[in-house]
Amino acid sequence: MINHEKLLNFPIPEVRQRVRPQDAVFYALSVGMGQDPMDTRQLPYITTQKGPVVMPAMAVVLGHPGFWLGNPETGVDAVRLVHGEQRITLHRPLPADGEVIGRTRVTGIVDKGEGKGALLYSEKEITDAATGELLAVTGSTTFLRADGGFGGPSGPVIPPNPMPEGAPDIVLDLPTRPEQAFYYRLNGDDNPLHTDPEVAARAGFPRPILHGLCTLGVVTHAILRELCDYRAEALKGLSLRFSSPVYPGETIRAEIWRSGAFRARVVERDVVVVNNGAAVLA
């Protein structure tokens, strides 16, 4: 069972990471860029000859502490947790060559009650190791499906972004690949839920699911393409809620409003997988 104070103050290791141009290229490829070899606008993200330009969504893997909730000392049922929400705020362009420091901490835990799970809020600050400048802040909500009823607080809960009425202005289909989770995990997210069928079955899924943050990367690609003309500096942040898992190999359909609101669904099952999305544009 969760010990509220212990988890709230859990010592998540600081991560110092050397970032190389090939890391930025690999991240972009791992979330599906480069599948259209004739789209030259993507080349700055996926080649070192014309860049690379770092995808803003790479903030979620820079200075990433790994699957720290898998540590038994947390008291969490690590097999049954899922990524619930993600937030990114960009203060400066992310470096393609340099060193960064990621400092992650738990900022809140909400007990939804016995049998209803719990919400764990965490935040990561990414700074330039050489200058100390703040590059980005990312925030995550992890849904601890099996850990409710430990006697913790019932709030506050971060409210979701409102969605506009009416049809989206833009619809874009982006495919994922059957082996995409095996690529994406090399960014530092090695939760076996995404690669091991036995672990997926214990978590209640028929097969391994795609990382939620990989889905975020695919949707960020759609935002960059449709609202930013592939200009990374035009995207200052985004936030979204994961509403259902994606299985590797499925097609993600991004539904985007010019206001910056968005959601996404899986074409093959017509299931909304990302909801309450909001992009902050320059």
Tokens 């994961």 belong to residue: 242
Tens of pLDDT, residues 185-195: 999 888 889 99
Question: How many percent of the chain have pLDDT more than 90?
Answer: 91
CATH number of the domain to which 272 belongs: 3.10.129.10
Q: Before 44, cis peptide (omega within 30)?
A: no
Q: What is the average pLDDT value for the chain, to the nearest integer?
A: 95
Distances (CA, A) of 39 to 44, 45, 71, 178, 252: 11, 11, 43, 22, 19
Using DSSP, state whether 115 is helix, strand or coil.
Answer: coil
Residues contacting 89, CB < 8 A, separation 6+: 136, 137, 138, 236, 237, 280
Tens of pLDDT, residues 80-139: 888 899 999 999 999 999 999 999 999 999 999 999 999 999 999 999 999 999 999 999
Active site residues: 189, 194, 209, 212
Euclidean distance between CA atoms 52 and 264, whole angstroms = 27
Euclidean distance between CA atoms 115 and 151, whole angstroms = 13
Tens of pLDDT, residues 164-202: 999 999 999 999 999 999 999 999 888 889 999 999 999
Tens of pLDDT, residues 23-48: 999 999 999 999 998 999 999 999 98
Q: What are the residue ranges of helices labelled H in 68-134?
A: none
Q: What is the pTM of this model?
A: 0.92
Q: Which helix (H) or strand (E) holds 227?
A: helix 212-227
Average pLDDT value for residue range 11-32: 96
Locate 274 and state its tokens. Answer: 């990302």
Residue type at 214?
C
Q: Before 156, cis peptide (omega within 30)?
A: yes
Total tally of structural domains belonging to the chain: 1
Q: Which helix (H) or strand (E) holds 184?
A: helix 180-184
Tokens 């393409």 belong to residue: 225
Q: Do residues 164 and 245 make contact, with C-beta atoms less than 8 angstroms apart?
A: no
**Structural domain that includes position 135:** 4-281
Tens of pLDDT, residues 216-269: 999 999 999 999 999 999 999 999 999 999 999 999 999 999 999 999 999 999
